[in-house]
Structures are given as structure tokens and as C-alpha cells.
Amino acid sequence: MQSYTIGQAARLLGVSPDTARRWADAGRVATHRDDTGRRLIDGRDLAAFSVAVGQGAHAEDEEPYTSARNAFPGIVTAVKPGDVAAQVEIQAGPHRLVSLLTREAVEELGLEVGMQATARVKSTSVHIDRT
């Protein structure tokens, strides 16, 4: 399972590294240390936490998440494969994006809960890039 540094988690959550660090210090999201002493967050834990943040479980004085050029970097929070199509959910800061794509595309990208991905929105379509 992929783990994320505090800085990476902050970017995915749409907050400053200081805010992510304060959340970790307060025990709002679990961390562990790697061999070099860096604090890391398990991808599944970050995915669950990002959903909570997206549903408004964060402080009111924090800056809102903004996107540039219709790209929403985030974390995969759900993958629901069907026989032909699959539904992928990404939490990008406070934004929850859902995309329907082929099951084959999901398998080729290797998308799974907890991994980093970027949703790109153009008109009425949402495209997923693995990052």
C-alpha cells in the first residue's frame, strides 16, 4: 500500500503542510515513521480522512481548495468495477469526483483505493490520470 508524506497529503487534501501536520499532531489522521524518521500516512487512512474533510469535517478558517485548469489531484476513495464499466471516486480536497470508465481502463491504470490520481474535467466528461 502506498504511503504519503505530510507534504504530499497536504497537497492532496488542498491544505498547507502546516495544517496537515497539525491534524496529524492532533491525532485526526494516523501516521507512522519510515526508516529515515519521516512521518507517513497510509493511503487507506488518507483516503478515509479526505472523505471526512470533503464532507466538512475541517476548521472554518482554512483556505478553500482551488483547482487550476480543470485538474483535480486527489486520492482514490472508491473503485467499483462492473462487468464492462467501473465507477471511480476521487477526493480532491473538498471535492468528490466520480467517473465512469471502462473496467479495462481501471485495470490498465491499476487504480485502487488509497492511490494518488488526478481527475481532469472537460465539458461533461471526467478523465482520470494516474499520477
Q: Which residues have CB under 8 Å from 98's CB, separation 6+?
A: 87, 88, 89, 90, 126
Q: In this predicted structure, what is the pLDDT of residue 58?
A: 46
E strands present in the chain: 3-5, 32-33, 39-42, 71-81, 85-92, 95-102, 116-122, 125-130
3-state helix, strand, coil in the chain (%, to 5): 25, 40, 35
Q: pLDDT per residue over 40-78, tens digit each?
A: 999 999 999 998 887 765 454 444 443 436 788 899 999
* C-alpha–C-alpha distance, residues 93 and 109, integer Å: 22
What is the pLDDT averaged over residues 93-102? 92
C-beta atoms surrounding 38 within 10 Å = 13
More confident site: 13 or 124: 13
Rounded to a whole number of angstroms, the distance between the first and last alpha carbons of the chain is 15
Taking the complete model, does pTM exceed 0.75, yes or no? no
